Amino acid sequence: MKQPLLDKIHNKTAVIGIIGLGYVGLPLMLRFAEAGYKVLGFDIDPGKISKLLTGQSYIKHISAEPIAAAVNAGLFDGTTDFSRTGEADALIICVPTPLNKHREPDLTFVLKSTDAVVPYLRPGQIISLESTTYPGTTDEELLPRVESNGLKVGEDIFLVFSPEREDPGNEKFSTRTIPKVCGGVTHECMEVGLALYGAVIDRVVPVSSTRAAEMTKLLENIHRAVNIGLVNELKIVCDAMGIDIREVIDAAATKPFGFTPYYPGPGLGGHCIPIDPFYLTWKAREYGLHTRFIELAGEVNTAMPDWVVGKLMDALNERGKALKGARVLVLGIAYKKNVDDMRESPSVELMEKLQKKGAVIAYSDPHVPVFPKMREHYFNLKSVEITPETLSTYDCVLVATHHDAFDYDIILQHAQLIVDTRGVYRETCENVVKA
């Protein structure tokens, strides 16, 4: 079955099925359609499917134009009907892998998606998991499910793991130009996986196994989490010593070798860095190992919102005001600048902590006009417009996400107090507290 599938991929008659049309699946759909493949998208949210089929985008940094072009060219169709997965020659799973309330891996979306397609699997298909997970997931969870109906992986059907590497809002790299790591259950699986991704990605990096590919993704994000934990801890030390940590980092970054700058913040956000390290620490316990270094960095990063709240309380106290009853405007609630992505945003945690202490919370974010429904968090709020008049009504403005759309000069001129967690205001200002 390998050669007929390879032929379909090479001559672009293969139908590409993408399960999960969010921040990972939607750009991947557009890339395959751009390359001339017909794409069949699956999602459990009928609202997303409806928008896509009418050429609309529901993700701010992804333009509607290429979606409409794919639909009009007959290269994209979307559905909530998973019985149609049998129509696809390639099935790429791009669903969330969050943590449960005990900070343990939650593979519910991956396993439900896999179970939904198993009844419709047929010879001559390839399945690729892109969702970040612990080493062994593909072999231990997906492989037995895929083979449960008598199909033999590596002969009848092919199974690979290729971790997503999307960076929402990053204009320097695209889905096409970001190198793609891929590991197969067998050599034949790898061969098909390389052909599939090589057809649309400039560079595909093969590794020896699905476990190696799964660990690669974890290493990438653990590397960032640990280094961010380091500078967050140094920020606390520098603050106690009266030193500007960002000045120190910028100076150290002038060294042309052996140093990579990472910058502190109010906590970790996004779908990867706050979550992925816990996938490895959980799996390591199965082998009787404790990832102390990774867990320590996690503790430091997790504690940052509390530290920021403490700085804000101190700043108010110095001005004769209590946090209870204070009006606090949070600037930016997306997890990173210039996007509308709210996943694991530290801004939301800051809002909850401040509200619990009695503060009256509002927010301003041009990318998130209305606070969205989230799995664990919700505020019945709309974005506040930044004007001299509105700024003057708040006791404190908390810079949590530094969107370029904010007019920081107006904010500086009219805010009574600014607590800056992002290093927006580098010079010493009377109404600015660096946190």
Catalytic residues: 272
**Longest CA–CA separation in the chain, Å:** 75
Q: Give CA–CA dist 349/345, Å, rounded.
A: 7
Q: Give CA–CA dist 180/24, Å, rounded.
A: 13
CB-based burial, 414-428: b 16+ in 10 Å, e otherwise:
bbbbbbbbbbbbeee
Cα dist from 412 to 324, 363, 399, 427, whole Å: 24, 17, 11, 11
- Paired tokens of 27: 């750009």
Q: Give CA–CA dist 230/354, Å, rounded.
A: 25
